[in-house]
Amino acid sequence: MSHIYIFEDANYSRLAPLVYTRATFELRCGLYTQWERISRLYPGATITLFCRDALADIVKERYPLEVNAPRKQNDSCLFINGRAILSRPVSLEGPEEIGMQGDTVVYLRLKKNSPGKISYNTFLEENYHEKWENTLHRVDIHTPVFSYYWDIIKRNAHQIAEDFSLFVKEGRNAGNVYEGTYLINKDKIYIGKGSRIKPCCVLDAENGPVYIGNNVTISPNTSIEGPVYIGDNSVILPNSRLRGGTNIGEVCKIGGEIVNTIFHSFTNKQHDGFLGDSYLGSWVNIGADTTNSNLLNTYGLIKVQMGNTLINTNHNSLGMAMGDHTKTAINTAIMTGSVIGFACNIVTNLYPPKYLPSFSWCTVNGIRVYEWDKALCVARLAMERRDKKMSAAEEELFKKIFQLTENERTICKKT
């Protein structure tokens, strides 16, 4: 029996704050998360997920799969990096080999009874690949691998189109399209069951596909320009403008002007305001007229602070990364290349810092710590409003994140 293991590696931390509550293979790019795309490439395969200890319980709750179970020595197996976007399957058959992109392991194929114990911790060690490079045949491959949040954003629009071509293939209307709606290039428009497209909407797929999941509501006077993905049970508010690369996960409420921005799931941005070239986590609430900048007035390259390090992204258009359970007040203005942590509250008419640590309460008077127990109470209430009850594993992870991000808040005090 062949077995697939999807793993996190030691560079997961570069994707903070998006990976505090999810593994790298749960990040969304295109029509799917990483593990969803892999499962479609290998239908019927036995899949095991390898993730950090802190996430193991919550990942077990989310998926009916084995999590962090050790490799069975009597299985041929393929290990796939959760940061790699595979649009074509790597063969399960063939000689033992290691597929590399630069110094990143994209896959590792081992045969039955290969020596050496491999567990989820193996891939979380620095330079873990060196032990195999000396013993296995190396194959240099070229596939997208994301190291930072901007890698996901820059790939997103292209990946929506590629996923549509590979897995959806053609348009379909299984919903209710009201009279007075315009569908441009119908062959590239997919509308799922129970979805409603209200009058005076324009769905334009000339420059890329438009995928609308099940039970989605597109309210009147909305324009959607592909490539765009809208997940199940989401609502698009009236007069919205969704431009290329908009990627909306399940159970979101979205309005205003959006371009090339990913909303992971269960996030609200119901009012006017522009968001561009950004990735927002789950359970985020964006206040009315909140806007982010994705372009410097100088048109220069954007630098992003990640902890103590300032990184030149080599991009001149880039918005923000925002962690789960963060909220902004009305009229919040967020600068280019900002990193906003987990469970932050931004309530100021000034620009918040470009690097805002997790559990920060940011006001005109400065930044103070948002104590985890108070933040947890608000998070529970937000979830209850969507008929979701926070599980014991989610609550425990919430507390762990507060502890794990203590150094972030120390950095902020020093700067």
Query: For position 143, what pLDDT does the model report?
Result: 94
Q: What is the pLDDT of residues 289-306, one digit of tens each?
A: 999 999 999 999 999 999
Contact yes or no for 127/91 (Cβ under 8 A): no
Angle of helix 372-384 relative to helix 392-404, nearest 10 degrees? Answer: 140
* pLDDT surpasses 70 at 73: no
Query: For position 128, what pLDDT does the model report?
Result: 78
pLDDT classification of 415: cutoffs 50, 70, 90: very low
Q: What is the mean pLDDT of residues 130-141?
A: 84
Calpha distance 218→212 (Å, rounded): 9
Q: Which long-range contacts link 87-90 to residues 24+ away (Cβ below 8 Å)? A: 87/37, 87/143, 87/162, 87/163, 87/166, 88/41, 89/41, 89/42
Query: For position 135, what pLDDT does the model report?
Result: 82
Calpha distance 130→202 (Å, rounded): 53
The region of weakest confidence among 15-29, 125-139, 147-161, 385-399 is 125-139
- Mean pLDDT over each residue of the chain, to the nearest integer: 94
Residue that has been written with the tokens 């509250």 in this structure? 345
Residue 167 φ/ψ, nearest 5 degrees: -110, -30
Calpha distance 322→221 (Å, rounded): 28
